[in-house]
Each structure stands twice: as structure tokens, then as C-alpha cells.
Amino acid sequence: MSRIAYVNGRYLPLSGAKVAIEDRGFQFADGVYEVCEVRGGRLVDERRHVARLDRSLNEIRIARPMSAAALSIVLRETVRRNRVRDGIVYLQITRGVARRDFSFPQANTPPSVVVTARSNDLARLERMAEEGIAVITLPDIRWQRVDIKSVALLPNVLAKQTARDRGAREAWLVDAQGRVTEGASSNAWIVSRDGTLITHPLGRDILPGVTRSVVIDVIKAQGLVFEERGFSVEEAYAAREAFVTSASQIVLPVVSIDGRPVGNGAPGLIATALRRDYHAHAELT
């Protein structure tokens, strides 16, 4: 079965789905995106993803091209046409197609909207979670507005590839003060020796992860000790547990950082429990 993409109002086979070469997403990475998990054919945390999309669009001054209701239908229809039960749905909105000038095109230029969906191998993801992943640390060389979910991801791409080249699955990005901001495509967490869960506070230097926000709700509901603050690489080395969160991976235990085992080198109990309980707290629609 050919995969299907939604492109500006039409559902097309992926092989024939095209955007113009003067699309500002292609020319300038002038656009934003969202990735939403699909579980059992339902969308996970759709409302929070759409709220973040609205915020990203607003920050870069693109008007939302369709209502939340219409967008929801397109997301679901793309999932349905691709027969995705467990996987992800991807949405990208750019400032549209116009002659290549840096300044914004005419106000009547319609944004481009692309939606794709694909299945995940749940058994493989589960095996990865049972084993835990390795991360490495790298300098955070990104721009100063990474709270916007922009498609300009070159530093993230390079960091991820460096991680892969060194046998790790994720790169933790470290700011000028030596603190871990987040992963190349995930939020970063540790559990200190005294059992405190720690993650970087919201602001312009991390993406406000939807999975992060749901995990915080779970932590609070369970009365776990939680601190929103930057943690250093040294603190991460000394942590009892570490994990990452993202819509496509949910909660994924980290078992080594820069080649040093975290805790006893096996997935931690808190990370494993958060992963197990996540979907009971998330909104599935």
C-alpha cells in the first residue's frame, strides 16, 4: 500500500506529493511543525499539540490556515488513509510559496500545509525501552528561540548524527553554563540520588515538550519530588536515573551518558513506571 500525504487540500500518494521549490520552508526553513503520537488509531494529547502549534505560528507570525476542527479532521484522515494504528502523524506549516526574498511575502500568500503519518514497530520500541539508550553530551549551538517548534533543525540533525556515529541514540545539548538544556529531539531528565526528578525549566532555551508536560502532571499526581531547574553534566553522571521524553518515544530510559553507566546501568524504576503509566494520563481522542 502506498503511503498518502495531505498537501494543501489534497490527499496524494507520497511518491507524487510535491511542494514548490520556492516554498519558504524549502528556501528558508520558514515554517513550524508538530509530531503527535498515534495509539490504537487515536491521537495522543492532540489538544496540547495544537495549542503548541498555535503558539509557534503566532511567534513567527503565520496565520493558522484552517480551524482546529478542520485540522483535526485532516490529521485523522491522514492517519486513516495510511492505516496507522500505532505510530505518528506529522504536520508542517510554512509561510507558503513566493519569490525568494527574505522579507515576508504578500499577506494573501497562503501557508503551505503538509501532513504525513507512519506506523511504528511497537515491539522494537518496547525492546529499546527495556534495554535503555546511550546518550552523549554536545555543546548546544542552536539559536535563541528553540521554544518555537521550527523546521530549522540543522543543529539537531548534526547532533543526532554525531550521537549515532558514537553508538548513542540521543545527544544531550549543553549550554554555556554547562547545563543540559534538552536532547536533539527530546526533553532531558534525571533522578538525583535523593530521588528528586529534575528537568530544565521552560523558557526560550528548550522546546516545551508535550510529553514533558504530561509527565509533570503524572509526577505531581503521584506526589513525587520534582524540581524544574538546569542540571549540570556532572550531576547527570552522578544521577540515579536518567530518561528522555518525546511524543514518538514517550519515556525512554537512559542507561549511559558519555559512556558512563547511569545508576547500575539498567533502566530506572521511576522512568519505567512513568513509561508504563503514561497513556493512562494522556488524552487519547
Which positions are catalytic?
149
**Window of 78-86, 192-200, 225-233, 240-248 that interacts with ligand PMP by CB under 6 A:** 240-248
Binder to ligand PMP among 117, 171, 207, 254 (CB under 6 A)?
207
Nearer CB in complex with ligand PMP: 94/97:
94
247 makes contact with ligand PMP (CB under 6 A)? yes
Take residue 253 and report the three cell numbers written for it: 530510559
Cα distance between residue 259 and residue 223, in whole Å: 32
Binder to ligand PMP among 35, 98, 151, 218 (CB under 6 A)?
35
209 makes contact with ligand PMP (CB under 6 A)? yes
Own/partner contacts of 218-227, CB < 8 Å, gap of 24 or more, are: 218/274, 218/277, 218/278, 218/281, 219/274, 221/281, 224/195, 224/197, 224/270, 225/194, 225/195, 225/196, 225/197, 226/196, 226/197, 226/198, 227/196, 227/197, 227/198
Nearer CB in complex with ligand PMP: 37/96:
37
Contact 115, 91 (CB under 8 A): yes
56 makes contact with ligand PMP (CB under 6 A)? no
CB of 238 to ligand PMP, least distance (A): 23
Binder to ligand PMP among 78, 187, 199, 272 (CB under 6 A)?
187
Nearer CB in complex with ligand PMP: 78/246:
246
CB of 51 to ligand PMP, least distance (A): 11
Residues 86-115 that bind ligand PMP (CB under 6 A): none
Cα distance between residue 155 and residue 130, in whole Å: 29
Take residue 261 and report the three cell numbers written for it: 553507566
CB of 75 to ligand PMP, least distance (A): 15
Site residues, ligand PMP (CB under 6 A): 35, 156, 182, 185-187, 207, 209-212, 245-247
